[in-house]
Amino acid sequence: MDAQAGKGREHYKRIGFMCGLEIHQRLSTREKLFCSCPTTILGKGATPSSHISRYQRAVAGELGAMDVSAQFEELRNREFTYNIYDTNACLVEIDEEPPHEPNREALEAALSFASALKMRIVNELQPMRKAVVDGSDPSAFQRSMLIALGGSIEVEGIRVNIPSMFLEEESSGIVESTERGITYNTDRLGVPLVEIDTDPYIPDPATAKRVALHIGTMLRISGKVQRGIGSIRQDVNVSIKGGNRVEIKGVQDLDLIDSFLENEILRQQNLIEIKKRLELARAQVMEPADLTHVFKSTKVEIIQRNSGVVLGFGLKGFKGLLGFEINPKKRLGTEISDYAKMAGVKGIIHSDEDLQKYGFSDAELVEIRKSLDISDEDSFILVAGEKEKAEAAVKLAHSRARSAFDGVLKETRVANDTVLCTTKFMRPLPTGSRMYPETDVKPIPVTREMLEEAMADAPDTTREMANLEAKLHNKQLASQLLLSPKLQLFKDIVSSTSADPSFVANTLIQKFTELRRQGLSVDEISDERLKDAFQAYADGEITKQAIDEILKELSRADSDVKKLVARLSLERITGKALKKIIDSEKGKSKEEIRRSIMSSYRLRVDGAELNSLLQ
């Protein structure tokens, strides 16, 4: 990775870097996209009212072709359990009632974003079903409609095309995934979501990050989107010359986009390198065979534990390549293992690992090689487990090993390590055949009135910046606020209280950063508490300095602001009370009085008031 760090745009051009983003943003509509449930997301502590369990399978799409990624998920034959919260999910979410009319508020928001991105809005929206059989939707599809085409944005002089934007349903949130199945929460299922795609010509990872930031800001200033963790997600599509398109899902932290991209470049480069070496070595992947007989009285713990069968296959000319590191702490063996795991086994054992460590005896190794008809120079891969699972797993591992000759595979991968910024295989990249019409919802004609409304409502970052500057008289603070997730909160506080905008902005941006550095979890303070604190300040009940104390306390434990003020004795001393204290200091100079009072009542006395009383 270091080899590429700091390389200019030329470097990325040379390696044939292609990159596009898909930004998914949840909307803050009152109701969900196809039913009347609220769009609020329940906290982790919420108790489900009931649950159901389902199985799903791949079916033929509209044009008769089964989508490869849908079939792949079915192979895993998992049971899906859905937690149902009566307040946040109805029969529609759990696929027990047809969808209602699409939510107008969501539609209007999506159209206004399309307008902001200078897109061409489709004349008639056609609701579609996107087959998804990973269980994240109880209906086995996600409802989605293409809203607009052909837009563009300009980010620091670079024009990036926005070829398409969609309005769709949010999927279920995963609670737990075990060998047997996956449990999902249905509260967020069906919340409206816009997906904004860029074209694949973002020239370098740093620009990718800026594009994401730009689009995120546009969405946020609309005031029509949800905030907080998980409310915006970036999927990154990337390939290099000789590689293939890979989609990385679930990068939640914008700051990590470029690191993930650099690692994917490295991964693709290494897979291409492996392909070259395999060709040179005339490598070969042999057919799988049953090796259970070899391990009748084995001391290999991992095999003892997985009672069932042991299957394996030989690989000629792979020596050293299974252990070849293609990403930090990820080897070709890891890639093959990730495929095998899809069938529900714990992983694979391969011959580039330290086999002594597993406890293989020499006799066993000889017997494995004999049974697989390979020499000492060749490699092997073993899978142990219940017969059915092991058979499926070895099939998957075998197919992945063979694909090493193809270099990089078209895959959907998921960001699974936010420290090393590496990904793991999720499923093959879906194709267009996963789409078919949502026949339960009528197409929606886009009228002239809807278009005009969209134009009027389009969020405008330039206008927003001008507004903020006018309010704050501070360009830097205004631009920090514009890019900050706290923007909407700032607007809410300023419009609902008479607190000074600059003070609010400084607190939310600078003070928050300062407190975060001190290790305080200020971002967990609820908007309502923050509004209450600023309200108390605006009403003259507390001083500016007291706000800091309140923030510190609230970041430790949630509490009612008024009670907190009383508990910490933060009530502002003002007017007559302050005058009385001043009078008790008689005989001292003004400066001495000021210092004495501020040292005793720093948090309770407003400096400006004190000064004016002292005059």
Partner 1 sequence: MYSSEITGFLAKKGIAVGDKVRIRSDDLDVEGEIMPKTEVGASDTIVIKLDNGYNIGIAYTSDLEVSLLGKRKGKIEFPRAKLRPNKALPSVELIYTGGTIGSKVDYKTGGVYMLTKPEELLYEVPEVSEIANISISNLFNIASEDMSYHEWQKMAEEVAKALNKGARGAVVTIGTDTMHYASAALSFMLKNLNAPVALTGAQRSSDRGSSDAFFNLKAATKIAAASDIAEVGICMHSSSSDDRCHFIRGTHARKMHTSRRDAFRPINNRPIASVDQKLAIKYVGDYNRMSPESGQKVEAMTKFDGKVAMVFIHPNSDPEIIDFHVSRACKGIILAGTGLGHAPVSTIHDNLNWLNAIKSAADNGVIIGMASQCIYGRVNPNVYRNLRILSTSGVVYCEDMTPETAYVKLGWLLGNYSAERARGMLSKNVRGEITKRLEFDENFLV
Minimum distance between the CB of residue 389 and partner 1, rounded to whole angstroms?
16
Q: Closest CB to partner 1 among 2 and 124?
A: 124
Per the CB < 8 A criterion, the answer to whether 25 and 252 are in contact is no
Q: Is the dihedral of CA 510, 516, 521, 523 positive or negative?
A: positive
Nearest to 102 by CA among 31, 23, 26: 31
- The residue among 123 and 177 lying less far from partner 1, judged by its C-beta, is 123
> In angstroms, what is the minimal distance from the CB of 54 to partner 1?
5
Residues in the chain, overall count: 615
Of 56, 103, 422, 484, the one binding partner 1 (CB under 8 A) is 56
Residue from 36, 49, 126, 304 in contact with partner 1 (CB under 8 A)? 126
Q: Smallest distance, Å, CB 51 to partner 1? A: 8
Residue 509 CA, chain-centre distance (Å), reads: 23
Could you give the CA distance from residue 348 to residue 393 in angstroms, rounded to a whole number? 9
Q: Which is nearer to partner 1, 144 or 239 (CB)?
A: 144
Q: Does residue 60 bind partner 1 (CB under 8 A)?
A: yes
Q: Of 395, 383, 399, 396, whose CA–CA distance to 308 is shortest?
A: 383
Q: Which of 110, 117, 125, 343 binds partner 1 (CB under 8 A)?
A: 125
Query: Does the footprint of partner 1 cover residue 103 (CB under 8 A)?
Result: no
The stretch near partner 1 (CB under 8 A) out of 14-22, 95-103, 559-567, 581-589 is 95-103
Q: According to CB under 8 A, which one of 422, 433, 484, 543 is a site residue for partner 1? A: 433
- Contact with partner 1 (CB under 8 A) among 95, 199, 386, 541: 95
Q: Which residues contact 173 (CB under 8 A, 6 or more apart)?
A: 41, 184, 185, 187, 188, 189, 230
Distance (Å, rounded) from C-alpha 291 to C-alpha 360? 13
Q: Is the CB of 96 or the CB of 528 nearer to partner 1? A: 96
Q: Which stretch binds partner 1 (CB under 8 A): 289-297, 437-445, 524-532, 545-553?
A: 437-445
Whole-number Å distance between alpha carbons of 225 and 489: 12
Instruction: Provide the β-strand partners of residue 136.
Output: none
Q: In 3-state terms, what secondary structure has residue 39?
A: coil
CA distances for 53 relative to 95, 136, 178, 468, angstroms: 12, 12, 14, 50
Query: Considering beta carbons, is residue 136 or 574 the nearer one to partner 1?
Result: 136
Q: Return the number of the residue (282 or 448) whose C-beta is nearest partner 1.
A: 448
The region of 312-320, 414-422, 429-437, 531-539 touching partner 1 under the rule CB under 8 A is 429-437
Question: Segment contacting partner 1 (CB under 8 A): 3-11, 140-148, 210-218, 546-554?
Answer: 140-148
Q: Choose one: 52-60, 324-332, 415-423, 602-610; the region binding partner 1 (CB under 8 A).
A: 52-60
Coil, strand or helix at 99:
coil
Half-sphere exposure of residue 582: CA atoms within 13 angstroms, side-chain side: 20
CA distance 202 to 358: 46
Record the tokens describing residue 364, joined without a space. Answer: 């066993």
Nearer to partner 1, 358 or 436 (CB): 436
Look at the block and give the residue holding tokens 């095998």.
340
- Tell me how many residues contact partner 1 (CB under 8 A): 56
Q: For 489-546, where are the E strands, in sequence order?
A: none
Q: Which of 18, 94, 390, 565 binds partner 1 (CB under 8 A)?
A: 94
- Taking CB under 8 A as the binding criterion, the range among 105-113, 119-127, 481-489, 542-550 that sits at the site for partner 1 is 119-127
What is the DSSP track for 328-357? TTEEHHHHHHHHHHTTT----EETTS-HHH
* 62: contact with partner 1 by CB under 8 A: yes
Establish if 128 lies at the interface with partner 1 (CB under 8 A).
yes
- From candidates 109, 131, 342, 550, binder to partner 1 by CB under 8 A: 131
- Cα–Cα nearest to 454, from 146, 119, 163: 119
Q: Which stretch binds partner 1 (CB under 8 A): 64-72, 374-382, 384-392, 503-511?
A: 64-72
Nearer to partner 1 by Cβ, of 98 and 228: the residue is 98
Closest by Cα among 411, 12, 441, 420 to 201: 12
Q: Which C-beta is closer to partner 1: that of 389 or that of 486? A: 389
Distance spanning both ends of the chain, measured CA to CA: 64
3-state secondary structure string, 10-24?
HHHHHCCCEEEEEEE
Which residue in 26, 130, 143, 341 binds partner 1 (CB under 8 A)? 130
Q: What is the DSSP string of 167-221?
A: EEE--PEEEEE-SSEEEEE-SSTT-EEEEEE--SB--SHHHHHHHHHHHHHHHHH
* Nearest residue to 335 (alpha-carbon basis) of 408, 234, 432: 408
Q: Least distance to partner 1 from the beta carbon of 202, Å? A: 18
Query: Under the criterion CB under 8 A, does residue 58 sit at the interface with partner 1?
Result: yes
Binding-site string for partner 1 from residue 442 to residue 481, where x marks contact by CB under 8 A and - marks none:
xx-x------------------------------------
- Pattern 160-199, partner 1, x by CB under 8 A: ----x-x---------------------------------
The footprint of partner 1 (CB under 8 A) covers 52-60, 62-64, 66, 70, 74, 91, 94-98, 120-126, 128-131, 133, 138-141, 144-146, 149-150, 164, 166, 431-437, 439-440, 442-443, 445
